[in-house]
Amino acid sequence: MNRTRRRMGFTLAVLAFAGASATPMSAQQQVSPLPSGRLAFGAFEAEFAADGAFSIEGEGWPTLAGTWEAAGSLLVLTLLEAPTGCETPGRYEFHVEDGRLSLSAAGPDDCMLRRMILDGSTWRPAGEVEAIPAHRITHAVATEPVALPEPTDAEGSWPSFRGPNAAGIAENQNLPDEWNGETGENILWKTTIPGLAHSSPVVWGDRVFVTSAISRDEGATFRPGLYGDGDASTDRTFHRWMIYALDKNSGEILWERVAYEGTPIDKRHVKSTYASSTPATDGRIVVASFGSQGLHAYTVDGDHLWSLDVGRIDVGAYDIPTFEWGPASSPIIWNGVVFVQYDTQEDSFLLALDALSSDLLWKAERHELPSWGTPNVYEGAGGPELVTNAANYIRGYDPISGRELWRLGGSSKITAPTPIFTDDLIVVASGRGPEKPIFVVRPGARGDITLEDGETSNDDVVWSRQRRGPYMPTPLIYDGILYVLGNNGVFDAYELESGEEIYRSRVPHLGSGFSASPVGADGKIYLSNEDGDMLVIAAGREFVHLATNPMGELLMATPALSDGVMYVRSVNSLFAIGR
């Protein structure tokens, strides 16, 4: 979206329509069909003056000014000094009720910026506090007693997004340097997974779990690539939200379950899917989040335990609420508790649930913008901290009570990477400009630890950098070095303790960019680009590109590592890579 704004880096004079006959100004002044005073929508404020003048302002957006004209329920909008593509006026149906103005396009509008802001928008009096109804949470539990499997050893498991503690590291894997998903070289097995999903595989024992959303539209797809468009997919057909369990050694599908079926409640970003959240398992149960379609738990043998309807999870552009992108924050399981982060357009909250019963242990209300990061639990000598990445504040909570321990401001307005840590440092980053920060925080902080203007560190923030954070991929800490992968293929390495830059390099074979997060094993780092190539990079103080391995299918999900095998989710398949 930022790119779109830069491409259209002009001052717009907006909104009226040359196609209708002019209404005498005196008549407009006498009876205006539009609300008087300033109106607000998302990050914008607008005013439709009785004399036909119009203005709109939004942080980070060009100021718009122009004229308007109404005929019946049609608002005719003309861009003065219009940029390329915006010369033709736009027509919008309008409706006024209780001082609110609702707009919807009365036909195609070639001016993308005008359409982005106005189509489907509802403007309310500026300063009006909108009442937000309490979020409805409904439990549905198994009607018959379910026999839970006995706990099994966690060794070799990859239980949630990016593995144990989201660290992304598994040593002693002895993976090959070269493989090929098209020829089958070093591919132990390949299994087709129906539907669309960007969720990553998780592993426990001899099973791999993945999720998917299967559309009735056989042509349903997503659009990879480096672009700034915020449009939603048009696929709103009947879907089935699925959970699959596969045999880790053979790739055989052991069971599949329909967690939910119906028409999607929300839209999804054209680059996303309806199954972008990675499931979590503790060896007894597997939990999958499907946003507005609920949170669902099964035993690892496929018996339904419980489902949680959390109501509508409206996640999208913070500044244009009509742009729905869909959720991606994944659940985690810690000491028998499921944590899920729901940061939405209207009300944001963090849930802690009993993993076996879905009983609510606590709910922390959050004043936040929509976010997509997965929470993570740091465990240290000073006690555990549940860390969440979000736009207004990065926060640390007591995972037992839900009490907020600390907060750190200054992050991006859009946040996706997951917090990671070592024994004595917590790293949180995000990559939406202009901030694009990296923060390295000491555990045990209390209160507001936000940096003052001009500061890069304080008693609790060890170091920070601006304009270096990743947009989608979660950073990787490996042997004292912090690796940061940008969507555009810029790969940075920093001394974790000091923040000193070790190197900055652009990886080869960029193509459509990177959405998957890096993982590491045995001194090597694995990067999956969207076009389907997996790059092998040597961990260390010099950038060394060891190999590029084609998979033959688009790659959006982060790989899992377990017992000498790397499990790679592509757009159509699950691969097992090993010697």
Task: Give percent of the chain above pLDDT 90.
Answer: 83
C-alpha angle 572-575-579 in degrees, rounded to nearest 5: 160
Least confident of 49-58, 159-168, 304-313, 452-461: 49-58
Domain boundaries, the chain: 2-125, 138-577
CA distance 418 to 461: 18
Question: In this model, does residue 15 exceed pLDDT 70?
Answer: no
Architecture of domain 2-125: Beta Barrel (2.40)
Contact 79, 67 (CB under 8 A): no
Residue type, 324: E
pLDDT of residue 30: 52
Read off the pTM: 0.93
Residue 516, amino acid:
A
pLDDT at residue 162 in the model:
98
Q: For residue 507, give the amino acid letter.
A: V
Could you read off the pLDDT of 229-286 as tens digits, one per residue? Answer: 888 999 999 999 999 999 999 999 999 999 999 999 999 999 999 999 999 999 999 9
- What CA–CA distance (Å, rounded) separates 53 from 49? 5
Instruction: Residue 53: count other Cβ atoms within 10 Å of its Cβ.
Output: 15
Q: For 198-214, write each residue's pLDDT tens digit.
A: 999 999 999 999 999 99
Per-residue pLDDT of 125-165, as tens digits, reads 999 988 887 788 998 998 888 999 998 899 999 999 999 99
Q: Is the pLDDT of residue 16 over 90?
A: no
Q: Is domain 138-577 classified as CATH 3.40.50.1370?
A: no
Per the prediction, the chain carries an average pLDDT of 92
Beta strands in 180-275 (DSSP E): 187-192, 202-204, 207-215, 239-247, 253-262
d(CA 365, CA 424): 28
pLDDT, tens digit, 9 for 90 and up, residues 65-78: 788 999 999 999 88
Q: Strand order in 438-441's β-sheet?
A: 420-421, 426-429, 438-441, 461-465
274 in Cβ contact with 196 (< 8 Å): yes
Could you tell me which of 23, 19, 18 has the C-alpha nearest to residue 34? 23
Distance, in Å, from the CA atom of 539 to the CA atom of 82, rounded to the nearest integer, reads 51
pLDDT (tens digit per residue) in 399-438: 999 999 999 999 999 999 999 999 999 999 999 999 999 9
**Cα–Cα distance measured from residue 482 to residue 503, given in angstroms and rounded to the nearest whole number:** 11
